[in-house]
Structures are given as structure tokens and as C-alpha cells.
């Protein structure tokens, strides 16, 4: 496409005198491009507004999830602290065994009695 000169009044007059139909088509094309560009801008503005709304909803949801997570963590910590609290140690006593008879000379008592 050939480079068009800047659109000035003098250019407009010359173009109108030479080929008014071509000038009209150029003006119409420029207006259509402007309308298309305005429509794109409007669509982008609408998309941006919708994205801002979505972002606001996500931020609210994020805050709610954070609060829920903190609450759950606190509950778990409370439960764990109750479960992991050491109980008082209980001492188990062994069964009391009597002392064996004193071994004196292998005869009284016999050595085998002394082992049992």
C-alpha cells in the first residue's frame, strides 16, 4: 500500500477534485477503523472490569481460606498438646523374690537346690 500524505485541507481539496469517490472511500475506511478500534477498547475495558471483579472474589476467597486454615491449625495444635502432654510416670514394682538359702559346703543345702 502506498504511503499516504498527511491529511490536510489542501490535500483534501486536491483529492476531492481528482477523485471524489476514492476520497470518500478513504474517509469511510478511516471511520470504520476508528469504530473498530473503539469497539476493541470497549471490549478490553469490559474484560478488565470482569477480571477485577474476579480478582476481588479470589482475594475474598483467599482470606476466607487463610482464616479456615489458621483455625484448623490451632485446633490441631490444641489437640496435639493435650495428646502429647506426658503423663506422670508410673513405677512398676517387680515381684519380691526371697533370698535363696546360704550355700555353705555343697551339702547343706545341696548345690542344685541353691540354683533353683
Residue 105 lies in a domain: no
- Report how far Cα 99 is from the mean position of its chain's Cα atoms: 71
Tally of domains in the chain:
1
Contacts of 111 (CB under 8 A, 6+ apart): 103
Residue 111 lies in a domain: no
Residue 90 lies in a domain: no
Whole-prediction pTM: 0.46
Residue 86 lies in a domain: no
At 96 the pLDDT is 81
Residue 42 lies in a domain: yes
Spatial separation of the C-alpha atoms in residues 15 and 26, rounded to whole Å: 10
At 113 the pLDDT is 58
Q: Which domain holds residue 48?
A: 9-81
Q: Cβ distance 101 to 113 under 8 Å? A: yes
Q: How far is CA 115 from CA 11, 49, 94, 107, in A?
A: 131, 95, 20, 13
Residue 109 lies in a domain: no
Which stretches of the chain are DSSP H helices?
9-18, 20-83, 111-115
Residue 2 lies in a domain: no
At 49 the pLDDT is 96
Element (H, E) at 95: none
The half-sphere exposure of 69 on its side-chain side, counting CA atoms within 13 A, is 6
* pLDDT lower than 50: segments of the chain: none
Residue 19 lies in a domain: yes
Amino acid at each position: 500500500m502506498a504511503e499516504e500524505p498527511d491529511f490536510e485541507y489542501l490535500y483534501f481539496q486536491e483529492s476531492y477534485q481528482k477523485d471524489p469517490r476514492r476520497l470518500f472511500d478513504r474517509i469511510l475506511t478511516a471511520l470504520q477503523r476508528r469504530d473498530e478500534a473503539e469497539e476493541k477498547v470497549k471490549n478490553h475495558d469490559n474484560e478488565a472490569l470482569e477480571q477485577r471483579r474476579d480478582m476481588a472474589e479470589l482475594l475474598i476467597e483467599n482470606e476466607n481460606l487463610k482464616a479456615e486454615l489458621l483455625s484448623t491449625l490451632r485446633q490441631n495444635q490444641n489437640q496435639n498438646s493435650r495428646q502429647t502432654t506426658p503423663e506422670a510416670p508410673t513405677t512398676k514394682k517387680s515381684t519380691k523374690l526371697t533370698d535363696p538359702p546360704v550355700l555353705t559346703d555343697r551339702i547343706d543345702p545341696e548345690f542344685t537346690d541353691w540354683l533353683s
